[in-house]
Amino acid sequence: MPVYTDAKAADERKNIEESAGKEMSVEERVKEYFKDTPILAEIARCESTFRQFDKDGKILRGDWNSRDVGVMQINERFHLDKALRLGYDIYSLEGNIEYAKYLYETQGLKPWTHSEKCWNSQKIAKS
């Protein structure tokens, strides 16, 4: 599975923006995907404010750790190789949320403990 370059990320962002009137926004897509695990949607809000790309169309990177990427802020150092072996492209919106679901199913909320003060303050069941 290829890793997204900045150009590929920009193309995906453009496609998302062009289809915004016809399809769901990133926030809506994330909430729909995590409808059975709403805590993960809340984590996306806390980690990235539902953004997969930055204002320049590049993959969103963390402020504190630039190896955290995308809407779920998946860390490249710890997860990129495993994600790719499993067939998830964490640089795409779909791959990022799908791998986040895999992490949740295998590790629970541990991968997002740094943002826990934000998402744990909400009254959402941690299903």
Q: Over range 17-37, report the average pLDDT.
A: 82
Q: Which residue has the tokens 């995906």?
A: 12
* Separation of alpha carbons 18 and 36, rounded Å: 28
Higher pLDDT, 114 or 6: 114
Whether the pTM exceeds 0.85: the reply is no
Residue ranges with strand state E in the chain: 68-69, 74-75
Which residues are CB-contacts of 124 (< 8 A; sequence separation ≥ 6)?
Answer: 38, 39, 42
CB atoms within 10 A of CB 30: 25
Predicted local distance difference test score (pLDDT) of residue 21: 53
Which residues are CB-contacts of 115 (< 8 A; sequence separation ≥ 6)?
Answer: 43, 46, 47, 73
